[in-house]
A and B are shown apart, each in its own frame.
Chain A
């Protein structure tokens, strides 16, 4: 039977999805199955998964064994009840104990798997109980008067006791439900928070590796490689010693790109060295149209920064500043400290911002990497430098910010 329930549960879970869509069009007519579907739909995925696991665990023989054990336990309690209180018959005591036991159990199970509605309806539950106590007390008084034909004075005299016993009964039923609900809510909240944290960390890690991959792809685009290899080939054809130097710079640049790709953070010294190799390659290709300088104060050299950031700005300056410029220009890369913050500046004297629409992907990537590493504490800004553009990265005082582990 339980197996059928599990199958049915899966079935219902599928139906739930359909029902969620259908609900928008018209409310489903009431049916036990529809009701269950609705209840399941109202649960969180976590709750549903747990409930399904519970159903799977307690199916088949195991269910009957559990039920039998519980029934035996409750019956034993009934025997004890009979022996201690002399008011119940054997059968009555055992039946009462079983009814109460299974009722409490089902209440607890409901509270366990649907604690959000239990917690939400807590005040309503209490209200029902109070109502139950009142109604129960009055009903037993009425029974006393009408059926047992007790005198009214005795009934009135007994009334407080009846209320108290009804209240005790209700409290006994309600307490486990509320307690279970509460415990479950705490656990559930913790679990949800944990899951959310994990999902967030995963998302960050994924975004980080995507951002790095995009940067790498931008760097070793075929355009760059082919043109550089062409330059090497020409120098080699002429037997120029510069061929070896250019090859060395290309190797240094490619090696740094690939190894930085695998790291989240590198030292500024590292970034400047990679940028220098890149600029030397570009200078070999562009000749007198490009000049450059790099200035990194010694005390900032070990500072950690997200990898490939400076390089991306330098490439941007070449691509959008110097390459489109008729007379070429200079690129000045520098780092300095201001108000305890580290500022990395890449300035070019190229064509300027207006002439180069769509700075686009490269800078977006830099912004995303900064946001991933430092949140709001870091920024990238572009300024008109006349001539050219100045790009500035501001890094927080201790740029050793906690980074999500790379996947």
Chain B
């Protein structure tokens, strides 16, 4: 059975897509309805769906950014109200897309196409996405430089570059530095959009690690790995989704 994730910020549009999907693809299971890009990415890591319907303009990570992170991990269908230009780019890149508001017949055709593709591995849209991200309106999020963390009764300012790793702790994020650690009130999924992806690698749904702090990567067995850090004894597990980061 196919598992579907939907990311759309407007509730009525979300309802509409869910309702139409139930009608034209009743066997599929909708594992999550995300209302922003951060939840969509986090939900993707949690549920590992086969098909992801992504709105492009969302709060947090944009649909394009989420798709970039998903890479070839799932079949992506863009849902967009962008006009002409985006449509041309999508057509040229042979990407599946739906125009908002989604109409039943168009969705049926898209579903038919995706079901035909399900047997094959999803395509990596990397090049097209990089092109689209620069071409479409909507600037990426500003990069964080400083974090505010509460330590006892103090509010500490933390230079992001000094952080060894971030670890999700339900509603908080644990920020580990060489000589200390702190809790930040922002969940990890809302933090990662503001961090430089080349510097902080996500190695697990709940872990971002500073590449500069990685001392070594250890293989535990055929599937599992863990990261060893400089200046810290903790070993951080690498989830299956991210082991490709450390393969040659």
Residues of A within 8 A of B (CB): 222-223, 226-227, 229-231, 233-235, 237-238, 284-287, 289, 323-326, 354-358
Q: Are B10 and A226 in touch, CB under 8 angstroms?
A: no
Give the docked Cα–Cα distance between A124 and B12 (Å). 84
Give the docked Cα–Cα distance between A286 and B82 (Å). 18
Q: Given contact pairs A226-B81, A357-B139, enumerate 9 new A-B contacts (beta carbons under 8 Å).
A: A223-B83, A227-B101, A230-B12, A230-B102, A231-B12, A231-B101, A233-B16, A234-B16, A235-B12
A residues near B57, Cβ cutoff 8 Å: 323
B residues near A289, Cβ cutoff 8 Å: 9
Which of B101, B139, B141, B190 touches A229 (beta carbons < 8 Å)? Answer: B101
User: Which B57-104 residues have a C-beta within 8 angstroms of A?
Assistant: 57, 59-60, 81-83, 99-102
Q: Are B100 and A230 in touch, CB under 8 angstroms?
A: yes
Main secondary structure of the interface of A (DSSP, over half): helix
Give the docked Cα–Cα distance between A238 and B99 (Å). 21
Query: Does any Cβ of A come within 8 Å of B15's Cβ?
Result: yes
Q: Which residue from chain A places its CB closest to the CB of B194 in the assembled complex? A: A355
Count of B interface residues, CB-CB < 8 Å? 24
Give the docked Cα–Cα distance between A287 and B13 (Å). 11
Q: Are A226 and B101 in touch, CB under 8 angstroms?
A: yes
Query: Does any Cβ of A come within 8 Å of B19's Cβ?
Result: yes
Give the docked Cα–Cα distance between A223 and B142 (Å). 25
A residues near B100, Cβ cutoff 8 Å: 226-227, 230
Which of B13, B83, B142, B190 touches A326 (beta carbons < 8 Å)? Answer: B190
Give the docked Cα–Cα distance between A154 and B33 (Å). 123
Residues of B within 8 A of A (CB): 9-13, 15-16, 19, 36, 38, 57, 59-60, 81-83, 99-102, 139, 141-142, 190
12 A-B pairs within 8 Å (CB atoms) are namely A226-B81, A226-B100, A230-B16, A231-B101, A233-B101, A234-B19, A234-B101, A285-B11, A285-B13, A286-B9, A286-B11, A354-B142
Q: Are A324 and B83 in touch, CB under 8 angstroms?
A: no
Q: Are A227 and B10 in touch, CB under 8 angstroms?
A: yes
Give the docked Cα–Cα distance between A233 and B11 (Å). 13
Count chain A CB atoms within 10 A of each CB in B11, B57, B99, B142 and give the residue with the most. B11
Give the docked Cα–Cα distance between A325 and B38 (Å). 11
B residues near A324, Cβ cutoff 8 Å: 59
Give the docked Cα–Cα distance between A289 and B141 (Å). 20
Which of B9, B102, B139 touches A358 (beta carbons < 8 Å)? Answer: B139
Given contacts A227-B10, A323-B59, contact A234 B81 (CB under 8 A): no
Which of B13, B19, B190 touches A237 (beta carbons < 8 Å)? Answer: B19
Q: Give the top 6 A-B pairs by smallest Cβ distance, nearest first.
A: A230-B101, A234-B16, A231-B12, A287-B11, A234-B12, A223-B81
A residues near B13, Cβ cutoff 8 Å: 227, 230-231, 234, 285
Which of A229, A326, A354 touches B36 (beta carbons < 8 Å)? Answer: A326
B residues near A233, Cβ cutoff 8 Å: 16, 101
Give the docked Cα–Cα distance between A227 and B100 (Å). 6
Give the docked Cα–Cα distance between A325 and B190 (Å). 11
Q: Which residue from chain A places its CB closest to the CB of B83 in the assembled complex? A: A222
Q: Which residue from chain B places its CB closest to the CB of A224 in the assembled complex? A: B81
Q: Which residue from chain A places its CB closest to the CB of B57 in the assembled complex? A: A323
Q: Are B142 and A355 in touch, CB under 8 angstroms?
A: yes
Within the complex, the shortest CB–CB distance from B88 to chain A, in Å, comes to 15
Within the complex, the shortest CB–CB distance from A239 to chain B, in Å, comes to 12
Given contacts A223-B81, A230-B102, contact A237 B60 (CB under 8 A): no
Q: Are B59 and A325 in touch, CB under 8 angstroms?
A: yes
Q: Which residue from chain B places its CB closest to the CB of A226 in the assembled complex? A: B81
Give the docked Cα–Cα distance between A358 and B137 (Å). 10
Q: Which residue from chain A places its CB closest to the CB of B193 in the assembled complex? A: A326
Q: Which residue from chain B places its CB closest to the CB of A242 in the assembled complex? A: B12
Within the complex, the shortest CB–CB distance from A386 to chain B, in Å, comes to 13
A residues near B83, Cβ cutoff 8 Å: 222-223
Give the docked Cα–Cα distance between A231 and B19 (Å). 13
Give the docked Cα–Cα distance between A406 and B195 (Å). 51
A residues near B36, Cβ cutoff 8 Å: 326
Q: Are A326 and B38 in touch, CB under 8 angstroms?
A: yes
A residues near B141, Cβ cutoff 8 Å: 355
Give the docked Cα–Cα distance between A231 and B148 (Å). 39
Within the complex, the shortest CB–CB distance from A285 to chain B, in Å, comes to 5
Within the complex, the shortest CB–CB distance from B195 to chain A, in Å, comes to 15
Q: Which residue from chain B places its CB closest to the CB of A287 in the assembled complex? A: B11
Within the complex, the shortest CB–CB distance from B50 to chain A, in Å, comes to 25
Q: Which residue from chain A places its CB closest to the CB of B15 in the assembled complex? A: A234
Within the complex, the shortest CB–CB distance from A21 to chain B, in Å, comes to 41
Q: Are A231 and B59 in touch, CB under 8 angstroms?
A: no
Give the docked Cα–Cα distance between A248 and B54 (Å). 30
Give the docked Cα–Cα distance between A229 and B36 (Å). 21
Give the docked Cα–Cα distance between A311 and B210 (Å). 45
Give the docked Cα–Cα distance between A229 and B99 (Å). 13
Within the complex, the shortest CB–CB distance from B209 to chain A, in Å, comes to 24
Within the complex, the shortest CB–CB distance from B223 to chain A, in Å, comes to 34
B residues near A326, Cβ cutoff 8 Å: 36, 38, 59-60, 190
B residues near A284, Cβ cutoff 8 Å: 12
Give the docked Cα–Cα distance between A88 and B83 (Å). 93
Within the complex, the shortest CB–CB distance from B139 to chain A, in Å, comes to 5
Within the complex, the shortest CB–CB distance from B145 to chain A, in Å, comes to 11
A residues near B142, Cβ cutoff 8 Å: 354-355
Count chain B CB atoms within 10 A of each CB in A231, A238, A286, A326 and give the residue with the most. A326
Within the complex, the shortest CB–CB distance from A226 to chain B, in Å, comes to 5
Within the complex, the shortest CB–CB distance from B135 to chain A, in Å, comes to 15
Q: Which residue from chain B places its CB closest to the CB of A358 in the assembled complex? A: B139
Q: Which residue from chain B places its CB closest to the CB of A327 in the assembled complex? A: B59
Give the docked Cα–Cα distance between A222 and B83 (Å). 8
B residues near A358, Cβ cutoff 8 Å: 139
Give the docked Cα–Cα distance between A340 and B104 (Å). 57
Q: Which residue from chain B places its CB closest to the CB of A221 in the assembled complex? A: B83
B residues near A226, Cβ cutoff 8 Å: 81, 99-101
B residues near A285, Cβ cutoff 8 Å: 10-13
A residues near B60, Cβ cutoff 8 Å: 326
